[in-house]
Amino acid sequence: MSTKHEQIIQHIIALPVGNKISVRQIAKDLHVSDGTAYRAIKEAENQGLVSTIERVGTIRIERKNKENFDQLTFAEVVNIIDGQVLGGRDGLYKTLSKFVIGAMQLDAMMRYTQADSLLIVGNRIKAHEQALHEGAAVLITGGFDTEDYIKKLADEKELPIISTSYDTFTVAAMINRAIYDQLIKKEIVFVGDISTPFERAYYLTTNDRIEQWYQLNEKSSHTRFPVLDDKLRVVGMVSSKDIVGKTKEHRIDRVMSKKPQVVQEKTSLASVGHMMVWEGIELVPVVDQSHQLKGVVSRQDVLKAMQQIQRQPQVGETIDDIVSSNLIANEEDELSFTTKIIPQMTNQLGTLSNGVFTSLIAEACSRMLLKVKKADISIENITVYFSKPVQIESDLTIKPKIIDVGRLYAKIDVEVYNLDQMVGKGLIMAQLINR
């Protein structure tokens, strides 16, 4: 039986795209409290099912697939640019394919303006009208209004006409930034992206006996399985060490380990990888908020995904991507690395920022361990310090050296040089994730 929270989410998913949603209406329709309805609507917003706009309300929007993260709904645009919706509210759920800056003659502007696009333009009434006839929405910059007949036309065509106090350049930059941020998010891998779904997962129930464990072991070659109660909630885990010396007639709930480690679909790959290494776990159940089983993720799934990520080109560049692309193995000594300090790596004073310095040291250690031990690392502790400020355009050499290494841990000392002068040091404690 699903919880009230899940029932509300399912109800919202079933609503047609573009439908208005209110706390009071949800509470009334599903016989829940206003607080429960509000929390579920906020969760739906986090999942990309709805968008809340000031002076308009909350509307159902299309949830993005990972492939089309480079597109925004008009509702999202309104929120990004602090806009005011003048007309065409019923089209806010629609997605824009591109935006056009209207800084040209009207006929030239219309050659670029097409259906599903967004025309960003100032106080040009004729351009507003023409764009709507072409099937495009309109964003009016500079805080201007438009004529009533334009608003009526927008309502008829269900194409939003939005006003913002920002200028055209700022608006274009804000929309670009939002798309760029989404592209970076797209690259982040979550447990839900790599887990084996419930339908294909192997599990036992509290009523099963050890005999069933042997059957699943033979079928799947796994040695660790989640144990579910009659509501499909994860209540334990059973592994080969739990059944040693027990007869096949023993009930599973008598031998299982209670309160097992679990993850949710939105847990990051890095987090679950860290947990598996730290706890020495081969397989973790994936659960929802009610603790019901949604799937399982294995250590093999995590390692495979980590290796794929390292081979993928990044679409949106984070600081770590910039650091990685600028770090080059030294020709004379393959276990040391060189990099040039570019503007994105500096702070407001024009010197290398602490955060980038830390990233450079971490990346150098990661690459060195991959060469020496054929292992990835999960950093437990990192200590860094500057002895001299590093100027923009400086050429740095980073020299990591293993102080101590075992089967699971490594301690690495790092020295950073600018020409022949040491400018900083680092000490890293890391777990090894063997490939």
- Residue-wise pLDDT for 171-181, tens only, equals 888 887 777 66
- Residue 199 CB partners (closer than 8 Å, separation 6+): none
**Number of other CB atoms surrounding residue 428 within 10 Å:** 25
pTM over 0.75: no
Q: What are phi and psi of 406, to 5 degrees?
A: -130, -160
Characterize the bridge pairing of strands 50-53 and 98-101.
Answer: unpaired
Token pair of 303 as six digits: 């390692």
Q: What is the pLDDT of residue 69?
A: 47
Q: Which tops the pLDDT comparison, 65 or 201?
A: 201
Q: Which whole number is the average pLDDT over 269-289?
A: 84
Question: Model confidence at 183, in pLDDT bands (50, 70, 90)?
Answer: low
Q: How far apart are CA 317 and CA 105, in angstroms?
A: 36
In this structure, what DSSP letter does residue 374 have? S
Q: Is pLDDT at 398 greater than 60 in this prediction? A: yes
Nearest Cα to Cα of residue 396 among 346, 321, 347:
346
Do the Cβ atoms of 60 and 23 come closer than 8 Å?
no
Do the Cβ atoms of 251 and 211 come closer than 8 Å?
no
Q: How far apart are CA 180 and CA 188, in angstroms?
A: 13
Phi-psi category of 262—alpha, beta or left, where left has phi over 0 and alpha has psi -120 to 50?
beta
Angstrom CA distances, 226 to 3, 239, 282, 367, stand at: 21, 9, 12, 36
E-assigned strand segments in 246-362? 257-258, 283-287, 293-298, 328-329, 337-340
- Residue-wise pLDDT for 357-388, tens only, equals 999 999 999 999 988 888 888 888 899 998 88
Token pair of 12 as six digits: 């919202």
Do the Cβ atoms of 383 and 427 come closer than 8 Å?
yes
Q: How far apart are CA 200 and CA 403, in angstroms?
A: 45
**Alpha carbon 296 to its chain's center:** 20
Q: Which whole number is the average pLDDT over 240-269?
A: 89
Q: What is the pLDDT of residue 130?
A: 92
Mean predicted lDDT score pLDDT of the chain = 86
- Residue-wise pLDDT for 53-66, tens only, equals 766 788 888 765 55
Q: What is the pLDDT of residue 187?
A: 57
Q: What are phi and psi of 205, to 5 degrees?
A: -110, 165
Q: Is pLDDT at 185 greater than 70 in this prediction? A: no
Characterize the bridge pairing of strands 204-205 and 224-228.
Answer: parallel
Q: What is the pLDDT of residue 184?
A: 59
Question: Model confidence at 107, in pLDDT bands (50, 70, 90)?
Answer: confident
Q: Is pLDDT at 75 greater than 80 in this prediction? A: yes
Q: What is the pLDDT of residue 64?
A: 58
Nearest Cα to Cα of residue 133 among 112, 103, 162, 159:
159
